[in-house]
Amino acid sequence: MKKIFLLLILCAWLAPHSLSARHILGGSMGYYYTPDGQLKIEMVIYQDCWITSAAFDSPAEIAVYKSSGELFTTFSLNDYDYKKIESDSNSCFSDFSSCIERGIYTFPVSLPDDGNTYLVVYQRCCRSTDLSNLINPNEIGFTIDVEITSQARLLKNNSPRWTADPMFNICVHEPIVLDLAVAEPEGDILLYSFCKPLVGGGPIVSTPDLFSCIGAKPTPPCPPPYDAVPFAVPTYSSNNPLGSAISQINAINGVWGITADYIGKFNYAVCVQEYRNGVLLSSVRRDMTLWVQDFVGTNETKGFATLTCSPNPVGDAMLLSTEMFEGKNIQIELADLSGKIWLAEKRMNVASKELLNITTLPAGVYLVRILAKGKTATGRFVHQ
């Protein structure tokens, strides 16, 4: 009896630690029809695997709500596909090691042809404690969901789905283009935008509130509407989650042009709306975390440098400060914030300053990069 009592105490001590140690990095949810007409939901969860006590939920609790807020059904999912995600390869943080795990849950759901829109939802706490752009991130859980409209079911539509893992690490002050695009097999029109990550659950890991709407594992997940996460305004917002002067998503192709101004860990969400013949069929959201890392050592030791463009803003022509490349052969590349390359030009035996004619460029913000053996320099400029 004494051994049983001690075992119960041990289990009670371990359970809250497992629940509270979760560092959820994000996730997404979508749906598709199998060839035999069965509707399936796919839920993808990412988490920080440095926290060894936090396995993926088994069971993961899912709720399905009608548009009225009435609970339709619930699921408890025990099985998921597991993968450890390799660190992004980038020389500015070659000494930085991230540890990321992915769990994919897939399950069938049967919905009636009753004209209702149904919402499939999962909620869990907590997010990373060191998010730079949120207020009290250690107290905030997250909600991922997907709506399935009556029209989507009638057409047996497949929602857009992200088929590639997101990039988790980028370098501060280094212009970069992130591809946030989804796969959409039916040729529908897609519109991309930043949107609000949603709160779900709270930090409480003890009963009776553990499974409530303020607990770490709402069971079942709570009904809509859902609050947006509290961004640390005015520097950060859902439309500018990194607080950067250059941060823009292309609404057509989902390319995010970004030069991060701050080091830290940042929460963001991107939404994709799917239209067919002018009718909104579906909307999916990916709620994610992005690390912005400093250069390891000095910029020069890693082969990176900041490129000066003058004047800036610029009209027809500008001078690039190329002292570090003097006497070398280089390639100059210009790209807009959508990732479109406007110029790729090789030059031989360059001087300390190189004149670049940009008369034909449309007005806008551009990223410029010079590549040479062993060195890279980047900058940005505004063309008026």
* pLDDT tens for the 384 residues of the chain, in order: 444 433 333 333 334 434 444 589 999 999 999 999 999 999 999 998 765 456 899 999 999 999 999 999 999 999 999 999 876 555 455 444 567 899 999 999 999 999 999 999 999 999 988 899 999 998 999 999 999 999 999 999 999 999 999 998 888 888 888 999 999 989 999 999 999 999 999 999 999 999 999 999 999 999 999 999 999 999 999 999 999 878 889 999 999 999 888 888 999 999 999 999 999 999 999 999 998 886 543 344 344 456 778 887 788 888 887 777 788 888 888 877 655 778 888 888 888 788 888 888 888 777 787 777 656 777 777 777
Question: Rounded to a whole number, what is the largest CA-CA distance in the chain?
Answer: 86
In a domain, 160, yes or no: yes
In a domain, 299, yes or no: no
Structure tokens that stand for 313 in this block:
């803003």
Place of tokens 């897609």: 190
Say whether both 137 and 168 belong to one domain.
yes
Say whether both 326 and 377 belong to one domain.
yes
Say whether both 328 and 236 belong to one domain.
no
pTM for this structure?
A: 0.74
Answer with the one of 272, 293, 314 that is the final residue of a domain: 293
| Domains identified in the chain, total number | 2
Which are the contacts of 113, defined by CB distance < 8 A and separation ≥ 6? 150, 153, 154
Say whether both 251 and 325 belong to one domain.
no
What is the DSSP secondary structure assignment for residue 245, as one 8-state letter? S
In a domain, 35, yes or no: yes
Q: Dihedral through CA 40, CA 46, CA 49, CA 52, nearest 10?
A: -50
Answer with the one of 274, 293, 312 that is the final residue of a domain: 293
Distance CA 319, CA 353 (A): 6
Say whether both 252 and 289 belong to one domain.
yes
Q: In one letter, which amino acid is 91?
A: S
Answer with the one of 273, 293, 313 that is the final residue of a domain: 293
Place of tokens 């002067």: 245
Say whether both 343 and 379 belong to one domain.
yes
Print the domain residue range for 143. 2-293
Say whether both 277 and 317 belong to one domain.
no
Say whether both 238 and 129 belong to one domain.
yes
Question: The domain spanning residue 363 has which CATH number?
Answer: 2.60.40.3080
